Structure 1
Amino acid sequence: MDFATLELSPPLLQVIAELGFQAATPIQAQSIPVLLKGKDLVGQARTGSGKTAAFALPMLQHVQLQDRRLQGLVLCPTRELCAQVAGEIRKLGRRLPGLQILVLAGGQPIRPQLEALEKGVHIAVGTPGRVIDVLEREALETKRLGTVVLDEADRMLDMGFREDMERIIGAMPSRRQTVLFSATFPPDIAALSRAFQKDPVRVTVEDTEATPAIRQVRYDTKPEDKTQQLLRVLRLYQPSSAIVFCNHKATVVELTKALSDAGVSVDGLQGDLEQFERDRVMAKFRNLTTRVLVATDVAGRGIDVEALDAVVNFDMPFQPEPYVHRIGRTGRAGRTGLAIALVAPNDKRKVEEIEQSLGLKLEPGDAAELEAAASKPGSLGSDWETLYISAGRKDKMRPGDILGALTGEAGGFAATDVGKIEIQDHISYVAVARRVIKVAFQRLSEGKIKGRKHKIERVK
């Protein structure tokens, strides 16, 4: 369906054209007309289906820009997802003058967020915990709130946020639009919908393209051989970026060390990490300084990395639904993804349930090919290293400023020596070719960016 038929305002249609969106995805085509009419909605669609734009465009259309009071609230399970959703809303709303979007999430001081609320924002995107905190301080004025969106509601329930979600929605005006988006529709989601929605329209987009776009391979292994089997898999497929999922935090720690000792460019992501450590781990993974990320399901929530080559199930999940969540992170944007399962004898029942749920058999991997990969000399290190810069978006730092400092007269590096640049609120990260990292660090430390000195660190 063409966006022009969806009765969106001219500024929004202009941005859609500028972004090169050709046609609405199924979830957008079915959800946007319903939401524009102000109706409640339950949308079931996987990550990567375009659901953010499906709720963001109607919300932006309804915003009264002259009234700088909170009019839309989006709840997300993790800070990373909040940042992604807020970024998408900002991008779609860039032709709306004066639009104010705020992220309300932990891991950052609450004071600047409270100050921003006091000055006035139109839309807030937050995690349940931080939104509760702001509500308790009576800093969230909700009189003009028109729409509440629960994004990835099933994940928030999985993470134990049910009471927080109920408390937040209960504190909102009774006359509001309530929108639920979820990849699955378990009984808890149905109960949430019954409690807080009024005659919601149900929109379900069948996951027709997920399975063919992902090659799913299994390698049988003994439990004691799993780490070596994983190394063989990585040497055989040589992914530039891969997520390895484990069921327990302790396994993440042990496996990360084992892979690092074997020369793999690897980091671990588990629930005990401080937020600033998590941010650094994710920045390095997004810019390919880290090739392999080992994570639990809970720590892996909200991870959305472009062009992820592979997902490896080091431990098979206990239910089919987490398996679908895990592998859905590869095979995006028309690329064929790769999902590998390391299957121990006690995983047989789990695999049968997954295959039954998906309606397909996991492809048996070639054991001889994998064995041959064990002797391959190919490196699993990274050609990139990451530099931290002590200024971000709120300090008027732009990617072009950092690129210019590195490739201009003072820096003297080729553009090919500079990788992904990531600008956050008050900090930035840039990937630099490992062979020139020492000189790049020295020149940025001694020089200036936009005429100012900044603290520069090599991110280990």
Structure 2
Amino acid sequence: MNTTNSFSALNLKPELLTVVEELGFSSMTPIQEKSIPVLLAGKDVIGQSKTGSGKTAAFLLPILQQLEINQKTLQALIICPTRELAIQVLAEVRKLGRGLPGLQTIALTGGGQTGREQQLELEKGVQIAVGTPGRILDLASKERLFLDDVKTVVLDEADKMFDMGFIVEIKNLMRELPVNRQTVLFSATFTDAVLDLSKRYQKNPQKVSIEEGAEALQIEEVTYDSEEKDKAGNLMRVLQQHQAESCIVFCNTKNTVNDLMTKFAELKASATCLHGDLEQKDRERVMALFKNGSAKILVATDVAARGLDIENLELVVNYDFPLQPETYVHRVGRTGRAGKSGVAVTLLSARDTLKLIEIENITGRKFQKPNLGFKNQFGLNWEWKQAPMQTLMISGGRKNKIRPGDILGALTGASGGLQAGDIGKIEMYDTYTYVAIRTDQANHALNSLRNGKIKAQKFQVKIVK
């Protein structure tokens, strides 16, 4: 059916519409409905939209639509405040653009590839780059990144760029870009600094702002009274009473994360953790495990959880009360995304009551305050112990010239013998790949990959925890 908020009503390439349909996007979110037609018309946009609104697809689909796929030069530059957000956006580019043969993309951030490795990738011909201001400016100033053919530049989460002190880098970068370009700016809030940035670098921008009611998060917000000595036990009671496919438990410190992980290990819970001391490779492993269903509980600090995008997250627990109201909004925004419902539980001590009232005043929403039920004598429910998927790590990735389809073929072919439904997310990096396999088929998949080949190549394979 061709309704006004249907993607099929847009004049998109058939390859893009096919992917949108495969991803199950039946209709546009409010931010997409308001901004995509404007962006397709080539106009500048300054958009205000909260987490989980679908704004990434709102600016990516027009970029992919307007891309000259046969032109092997940089045509779109997406600037993000953090490496984590850049990696997340790049994953969306690859997901939405998977039907476009010849699409070449790159992440320009620190902490992953070296500048030299990124330069070699750029020399092969890249059409879309996603990165952080410092690394992009460094490559451009050393003439390793050429911006002459950029048609669209996107500043994503512009307010966070100011908070993180990137204004000098942004100004220097904008000077390097062509005058005739489309400039897109998205921000959670329209601060004076953001509006000044728009005035300085945009041409007659269309202002797109979603009313709170149109994009209200579908979140049930609950608090349970809990003094410090009872918190660990009360957390287990919360998990007993709020069943979900997955859950993030937020803590204020790394030490608390580690304490809870010890408790979950004793209860044999399917849990993993994320904090600021993890190396990038370990972070990627943890996120692969959680996102693909191999770990049902993620215990995390706020710094580590920046930029997380988890599909269908049903439950968030504030084990520690957030230090700032903005932190609360960021935490609970992990659930109830893109029109889906979610539950946010906060364990509340008496000293946090005034902070709770402050959050209610800021959000305009009232918390439910039921009594916490009795503890199940058997500890955690079985559902929190049994993960539906296991994760295999393959010692090959993009640099080995293999693609997700090659891995899928090896697993479902004559030697693998798996059904497509046995295989979950495939997360591919430069030199290794994570593959989710249904738990009851994981050992079979492990043996078939160890004994077989992927695209005529032999790789090491192991189950990761």
1:257-287 CA distances to partner (integer Å, 9 max, x unpaired)?
3333343222221222111111001000111
Secondary structure of the corresponding residue to residue 372 of structure 1: coil
User: Which residue of the partner structure matches residue 143 of structure 2?
Assistant: 138
Residues 160 and 273 of structure 1: CA distance in aligned 2, closer, same or farther (over 3 Å): farther
1:191-228 CA distances to partner (integer Å, 9 max, x unpaired)?
43344334433211124365562111111111232222
Residues 200 and 266 of structure 1: CA distance in aligned 2, closer, same or farther (over 3 Å): same
Amino acid at match of 2:238: V
8 A Cα contact 1:244 1:312, kept in partner: yes
User: Which residue of the partner structure matches residue 382 of structure 1?
Assistant: 386
1:112-158 CA distances to partner (integer Å, 9 max, x unpaired)?
42112112222211133432332343211112222210112234444
Residues 334 and 410 of structure 1: CA distance in aligned 2, closer, same or farther (over 3 Å): same
8 A Cα contact 1:35 1:41, kept in partner: yes
User: Which residue of the partner structure matches residue 193 of structure 1?
Assistant: 198
Q: CA deviation at 1:382?
A: 3.3
Q: Which aligned pairs between 1:29-428 and structure 2 lie closer than 5 A? A: 29-93=33-97, 96=100, 98-110=102-114, 111-208=116-213, 211=216, 213-367=218-372, 369=373, 371-373=374-376, 375-376=378-379, 378-379=381-382, 380-383=384-387, 384-399=389-404, 401-403=406-408, 405-406=410-411, 410-411=415-416, 418-428=423-433
Question: Following the alignment from structure 1 to structure 2, what is the Cα–Cα distance between the partners of residues 377 and 318?
Answer: 28
User: Which residue of the partner structure matches residue 452 of structure 1?
Assistant: 457
Residues 163 and 375 of structure 1: CA distance in aligned 2, closer, same or farther (over 3 Å): farther
Residues 377 and 143 of structure 1: CA distance in aligned 2, closer, same or farther (over 3 Å): closer
8 A Cα contact 1:406 1:440, kept in partner: yes
Amino acid at match of 2:221: Q
User: Which residue of the partner structure matches residue 441 of structure 1?
Assistant: 446
Amino acid at match of 1:27: I
Residues 426 and 218 of structure 1: CA distance in aligned 2, closer, same or farther (over 3 Å): same
1:300-329 CA distances to partner (integer Å, 9 max, x unpaired)?
122111111211112222333332222122
8 A Cα contact 1:226 1:314, kept in partner: yes
Residues 121 and 29 of structure 1: CA distance in aligned 2, closer, same or farther (over 3 Å): same
Alignment counterpart, residue 32 of structure 2, candidates 28, 34, 39: 28
1:329-359 CA distances to partner (integer Å, 9 max, x unpaired)?
2123543211111112221122111111222
Residues 94 and 273 of structure 1: CA distance in aligned 2, closer, same or farther (over 3 Å): closer
Question: Following the alignment from structure 1 to structure 2, what is the Cα–Cα distance between the partners of residues 60 and 420?
Answer: 23
Q: CA deviation at 1:92?
A: 4.1
Residues 419 and 176 of structure 1: CA distance in aligned 2, closer, same or farther (over 3 Å): closer
Tell me which moved more, 428-437 or 340-349: 428-437
Question: Following the alignment from structure 2 to structure 1, what is the Cα–Cα distance between the partners of residues 433 and 70?
Answer: 32
Residues 17 and 288 of structure 1: CA distance in aligned 2, closer, same or farther (over 3 Å): closer
Tell me which moved more, 354-363 or 445-454: 445-454
Amino acid at match of 1:26: P
Tell me which moved more, 78-87 or 50-59: 78-87
Unaligned regions of 5+ residues in structure 2, if any?
none
1:30-83 CA distances to partner (integer Å, 9 max, x unpaired)?
223332344332111123322123212332344344432222100123444334
Residues 4 and 319 of structure 1: CA distance in aligned 2, closer, same or farther (over 3 Å): same
Question: Following the alignment from structure 1 to structure 2, what is the Cα–Cα distance between the partners of residues 9 and 404?
Answer: 27
Q: TM-score, normalised by structure 1?
A: 0.87
Residues 29 and 407 of structure 1: CA distance in aligned 2, closer, same or farther (over 3 Å): closer
Question: Following the alignment from structure 2 to structure 1, what is the Cα–Cα distance between the partners of residues 357 and 90?
Answer: 39
Question: Following the alignment from structure 2 to structure 1, what is the Cα–Cα distance between the partners of residues 214 and 44?
Answer: 27
Tell me which moved more, 312-321 or 353-362: 312-321
Residues 377 and 40 of structure 1: CA distance in aligned 2, closer, same or farther (over 3 Å): closer
Question: Following the alignment from structure 1 to structure 2, what is the Cα–Cα distance between the partners of residues 374 and 133?
Answer: 58
Q: TM-score, normalised by structure 2?
A: 0.86
8 A Cα contact 2:30 2:215, kept in partner: no
- Name the count of aligned residue pairs: 458
Amino acid at match of 1:50: G
CA RMSD of aligned residues (A): 3.1
8 A Cα contact 2:395 2:460, kept in partner: yes
Residues 166 and 347 of structure 1: CA distance in aligned 2, closer, same or farther (over 3 Å): farther
Question: Following the alignment from structure 1 to structure 2, what is the Cα–Cα distance between the partners of residues 191 and 28?
Answer: 24
